[in-house]
């Protein structure tokens, strides 16, 4: 359920400039900053005029690129990929030129705070001045995304049978539902092998991205990404490590419990008593969330009999109705109904007549009202939660549309991901009963059961989210060479996630590229940040709603007082540094794992008890 809105890729459009991720170029032939030697120093008025012209240009370029990407992901052909690449190439060129021009105003005294922040945001970008290299860069980006969207695994058929090729959604279904370890391993290996086809494209892309980042004074593209959090790249990396260590004991307890349960299911020959868990047994293609193995690890006594996926199927809930449930949550907080164009232009089900990128995403095509979702919705619990998440992006877009162009984004990338995830935390049994998806005689399970379900989705994800960019930062820094991509990826997988590859890695492999966000060059640290922020947000909103019980039972559905506080945060966009936005919302000024720890405190105690019993042979 961890999805990204496609504000075009991080490196491609330098979303570290996180006011929509793009720098504009001033009108063709217009002034792009004071020329060296022609004047002593620019004035405040010139700086403000520069920003005004830049924002106008930015808006037009952003809309054009977004529309091209929408078409390219909904109609995957060589032609649409080329159109998308050309739109993004123009955007990239503008991005770099205006970033250089913005440097001319550094150190200018008496700048209004808003203008100074905009100039700072403009410079968080890469620049590739060479026309040929810039075209190559955007073509590589478009090609990798297209290759990912069209990839299929074609297993060897049994004698006499027709060969059937499986797209990712079919393989994900196998990973989620099968309990045959050989079938799971085959699906896992089959999908991960697809990324080899664009490994060299990725290597070339990294080299060009680094060239563009260094042209703007960054050590490499990883440093550029980390600079997008209102602190130095080094400070941001240290902050993530600090918070990871804060929450790691909870993950370790969950991992030990799940390993023991899987060992009972699959036997000691496949699952060790200690050490890493084989990656293909965790119910997810990337082992990033484990909720699909709930039935294998559920508590012996506390588990209920309610199944949200089953309830959605039994009630015949359509893709559109799934979205309407999510919309109703946001409107219950006092937010507006989705505009009619949302329903007319979104893609909610997988077309049968063409290839599309099914990866769930939210879009803001005109920076005003043309918001959309692209998602191949299925009637199950995962997609029910995911659509609540995606509408978080949509409502954030709608809330900050009154801001200047450069501020129409989240306070940081993690904020944008945390909004919908915060709402999803309120999908509690009481909420499901209120909206009619859970009947009075359904048994949802007790606190431990419900917390375990949440932990399988939320806690299991933390080290994966940490790992993806920890790996990429080293790739961008040149510390991991192409021949060692998989060696390093699996070393980190064992270190952070405690998982192992089903079969030995190979030098030509590219398992990282089997994840959409690597192929699409979208940063992943945002999701780690979001998974901490959402609990901080939830604690603050529940407090605002007057709730005083255990945090994990709180649902803010229907509470307009909490909704007003939420909406005030959304309306800020990127106009303030994120610690200020966080403080306005929560009273806190830094990323903190204590809210997540509080939320799962009863489960942590129970897990430790279960692990102690397992260690004693009970």
Biggest CA–CA distance in the chain, Å, is: 82
Assign residue 275 a region: left if phi > 0, alpha if psi is -120 to 50, beta otherwise? left
List of long-range contacts for 209-212, beta carbons under 8 Å, 24+ apart:
209/11, 209/126, 209/137, 209/476, 209/521, 210/476, 210/478, 211/128, 211/133, 212/11, 212/96, 212/126, 212/127, 212/128, 212/137
**Could you confirm whether 517 is annotated as catalytic?**
yes
Assign residue 375 a region: left if phi > 0, alpha if psi is -120 to 50, beta otherwise? beta
Point out the catalytic residue in the list 97, 291, 327, 390: 390
569: CB partners within 8 A, 6+ apart: 411, 537, 581, 584, 585
Ramachandran angles phi, psi of 108, nearest 5°: -70, 125
Tell me if 417 sits within 8 A of 530, measured CB to CB. Answer: yes
Point out the catalytic residue in the list 2, 389, 517, 552: 517
Q: Which residues pair with 202 in a beta bridge?
A: none
First to last CA, the chain: 35
Residue 486: C-alpha distances to residues 59, 96, 350, 590 (Å): 40, 33, 32, 34
Letter string b/e over residues 138-151, b meaning 16 or more CB atoms within 10 A of that residue's CB: bbbbbbbbbbbbeb
What letter does residue 117 receive in the DSSP assignment? Answer: H
323: CB partners within 8 A, 6+ apart: 346, 348, 373, 377, 387, 391
What letter does residue 511 receive in the DSSP assignment? Answer: G
Tell me if 485 sits within 8 A of 200, measured CB to CB. Answer: no
Q: Which residues are annotated as catalytic? A: 390, 517
């Amino acid at each position: 359920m961890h999805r990204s809105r496609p504000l075009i890729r991080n490196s491609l459009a330098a979303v570290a400039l996180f006011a929509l991720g793009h720098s504009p170029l001033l009108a063709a032939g217009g002034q792009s900053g004071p020329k060296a030697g022609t004047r002593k120093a620019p004035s405040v008025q010139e700086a403000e005029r520069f920003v005004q012209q830049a924002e106008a240009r930015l808006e037009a370029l952003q809309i054009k690129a977004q529309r091209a990407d929408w078409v390219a992901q909904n109609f995957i052909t060589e032609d649409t990929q080329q159109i998308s690449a050309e739109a993004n190439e123009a955007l990239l060129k503008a991005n770099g030129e205006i970033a250089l021009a913005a440097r001319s105003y550094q150190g200018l005294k008496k700048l209004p705070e808003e203008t100074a922040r905009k100039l700072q945001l403009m410079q968080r970008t890469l620049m590739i001045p060479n026309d040929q290299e810039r075209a190559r860069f955007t073509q590589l980006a478009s090609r990798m995304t297209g290759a990912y969207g069209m990839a299929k695994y074609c297993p060897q058929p049994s004698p006499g049978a027709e060969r059937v090729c499986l797209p990712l959604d079919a393989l994900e279904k196998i990973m989620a539902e099968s309990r045959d370890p050989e079938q799971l391993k085959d699906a896992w290996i089959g999908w991960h092998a697809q990324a080899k086809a664009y490994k060299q494209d990725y290597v070339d892309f990294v080299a060009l991205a680094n060239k563009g980042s260094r042209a703007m004074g960054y050590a490499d593209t990883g440093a550029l990404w980390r600079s997008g959090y209102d602190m130095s790249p080094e400070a941001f990396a240290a902050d993530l490590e600090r918070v990871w260590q804060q929450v790691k004991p909870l993950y370790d307890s969950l991992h030990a419990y799940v390993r023991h349960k899987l060992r009972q299911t699959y036997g000691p020959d496949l699952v060790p008593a200690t050490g890493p868990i084989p990656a293909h047994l965790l119910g997810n293609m990337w082992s990033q969330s484990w909720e699909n193995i709930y039935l294998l690890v559920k508590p012996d006594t506390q588990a209920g009999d309610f199944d949200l996926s089953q309830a959605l199927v039994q009630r015949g809930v359509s893709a559109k109705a799934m979205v309407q449930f999510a919309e109703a949550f946001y409107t219950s907080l006092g937010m507006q109904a989705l505009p009619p164009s949302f329903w007319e232009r979104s893609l909610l089900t997988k077309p049968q007549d063409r290839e599309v990128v099914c990866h769930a995403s939210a879009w803001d095509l005109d920076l005003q009202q043309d918001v959309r979702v692209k998602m191949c919705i299925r009637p199950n619990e995962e997609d029910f939660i995911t659509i609540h998440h995606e509408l978080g992006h949509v409502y954030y877009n709608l809330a900050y549309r009154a801001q200047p162009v450069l501020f129409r984004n989240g306070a940081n990338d993690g904020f944008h991901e945390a909004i919908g995830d915060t709402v999803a935390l309120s999908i509690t049994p009481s909420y499901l009963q209120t909206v009619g998806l859970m009947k009075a005689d359904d048994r949802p399970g007790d606190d431990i059961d419900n917390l375990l379900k949440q932990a399988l989705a939320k806690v299991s994800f933390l080290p994966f989210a940490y790992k993806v960019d920890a790996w990429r930062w080293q790739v961008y820094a040149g510390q991991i060479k192409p021949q060692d991509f998989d060696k390093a990826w699996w070393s980190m997988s064992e270190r952070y996630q405690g998982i192992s590859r089903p079969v030995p890695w190979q030098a030509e492999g590219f398992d990282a590229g089997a994840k959409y966000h690597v192929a699409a060059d979208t940063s992943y640290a945002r999701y780690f940040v979001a998974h901490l922020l959402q609990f901080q947000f939830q604690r603050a909103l529940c407090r605002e709603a007057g709730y005083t019980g255990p945090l994990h039972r709180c649902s803010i559905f229907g509470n307009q007082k909490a909704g007003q506080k939420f909406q005030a945060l959304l309306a800020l966009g990127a106009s303030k540094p994120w610690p200020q936005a966080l403080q306005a919302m929560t009273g806190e000024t830094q990323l903190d794992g204590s809210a997540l720890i509080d939320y799962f405190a009863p489960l942590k105690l129970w897990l430790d008890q279960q692990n102690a019993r397992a260690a004693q042979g009970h």
